Amino acid sequence: MWVRLRGVSARRAVVDVAAALDLITPETRRWLLRELGEVHADPDEAIAAAVATGGLVLVERPRTAYWAGADIPVEWQRRTALWDYLWKLAQCGKSGCAIDPNELGAEGPPDAAVKLKSRLINLPGFPPDLAQHIHRADRGAQRLDLPPQQIRLFEMSTLEVAREWTT
C-alpha cells in the first residue's frame, strides 16, 4: 500500500514504514536508503540514477526534464507557465490525482489546463510518447497516466542538496 500511495520502490517502502513506526532511527533510515541505492549523497548521482530508470524525471533547479532516459530539449527557463503545468501534472500524477484547472493559479477559463496541455505537447522537442500519457479527466482536469514509481521530482533545497518529492 505504501508503494502505491507514495510512488516509491518496495525496498524504500519497507524502510520508510519502519521509520514511520519508530522501529529504526533517522540515521539508520538514511544509511539503509543509501546502501539500497534509494538515496545518494551526491545530488547529481541521485538525479542520474533516477534518469537511468527511464521514467519522467523533473529537476527544480536548474529546470530540467528527462523522459525515457533522455533530456527533453526545451528551454524551461523561458517557459515558466508550461514548466509549472508539467511540474503540477507530475506531482498530481505521483499522488494519483488529476490537475483541476483552479489549481493552476489562473483565474481564467475552465479550459486553461487543456490549453496548457496543447501548448506543452506541441513544443518542439517534447516527446510524443510522453504526451500520450497526458489525458483529460473531467471538467477540464488533466491527468498524467504513469505509475507513481516512474515519476521522480527533485526539489533543490540548496545548490548541493536535492530532495526527492514523494507526496
Q: Mind listing the pLDDT tens digit for each residue in 22-72?
A: 999 988 988 898 888 776 667 788 888 889 989 999 999 899 999 999 999
Q: Is residue 86 exposed (0-12), middle (13-18) or buried (19+ Cβ within 10 Å)?
A: buried
Q: Among positive and negative, which fits the CA dihedral 90, 94, 99, 104? A: negative
What's the pLDDT score for residue 140? 74
Q: 150 pLDDT band (50/70/90 cuts)?
A: very high
pTM higher than 0.85: no
- Higher per-residue confidence, 84 vs 37: 84
Angle among Cα 15, 18, 19 to the nearest 5 degrees reads 85
For residues 59-76, one letter each, b for 16 or more C-beta atoms within 10 angstroms of the residue's C-beta and e for the rest, the string is bbeebbbbbeeeebebeb
Distance of CA 158 to the CA centre of its chain: 18
Distance of CA 151 to the CA centre of its chain: 4
Is residue 6 over pLDDT 90?
Answer: no
What's the pLDDT score for residue 108? 59
* CA gap 51, 55 in Å, rounded: 7
Q: 139 pLDDT band (50/70/90 cuts)?
A: confident
Residue 102 CB neighbours (<10 A):
14
What's the pLDDT score for residue 44? 83
**Cβ distance 73 to 65 under 8 Å?**
no
Say which range, 39-48, 87-96, 145-154, 155-164, has the weakest mean pLDDT: 155-164
Is residue 145 over pLDDT 70?
Answer: yes
What's the pLDDT score for residue 7? 66
Residues 6+ apart with CB under 8 A from 140: 100, 101, 110, 111, 112, 113, 114
88-130 pLDDT, tens digit per residue, is 999 999 888 888 777 766 555 667 778 889 999 999 999 999 9
Q: Which three cell numbers stand for residue 144?
A: 498524467
